[in-house]
Structure 1
């Protein structure tokens, strides 16, 4: 098994080869569905019983991923109320996500 801990938009994700991951929306102008992009901020890399730890990142390892889909998450309801004052506010919010698939790890 091969996996890596990678920084994507300030959040750390564990990426495993040929698995799908939902990450915060990658910019839609530069990344279209089907594009292959590289993540180079790798903190930890594991391959066949051996591992490498970055201080803070590993410079010679990149992760190649393919963008599969841009989508919205489930709706979150924000409800505010002050009792006995007649104040009620109800709002909704949906996060934007990008579904990616890990293709390969480039280890030099």
Structure 2
């Protein structure tokens, strides 16, 4: 059984027991979270497709860590023959969550 869920503006394919990293959620560590924006549910070949969301479907999750940083992304800018070079780095803050149940 899996579901496709909209979590913090991104779509994830989740199953019970999965641990995923998503954009930072405004909740504390070890708290329970419910996501009701379920786009699709597959239960042993039976597919329920939402329009845009499946009515009554909820994905329950637990926040394992609320302040994780992603890998660094380097942004390098250069203008040829002008002597201009600039390098910036960025690390996105993420939340690590564990999917408990799909109901």
Which residue matches 2:51? Answer: 55
Residue equivalent to 1:87: 84
Q: Does structure 1 retain, via aligned residues, the 8 Å contact 2:15–2:102?
A: no
TM-aligned CA deviation for residue 25 of structure 1? 1.0
Name the residue aligned to 2:8.
Answer: 9
Runs of 4+ aligned residues of structure 1 deviating over 2 Å after TM superposition are none
Which structure shows the higher strand fraction?
1
TM-score, length-scaled by structure 2: 0.93
Offset of 1:48 from its aligned partner? 2.4
| Whole-angstrom distance in 1 between the partners of 2:22 and 2:8 | 9
State the Cα RMSD in Å: 1.0
Counterpart residue number, 2:25: 26
Stretches of structure 2 that go unaligned for 5 or more consecutive residues are: none
Q: How many residues align?
A: 102
- TM-score, length basis structure 1: 0.89
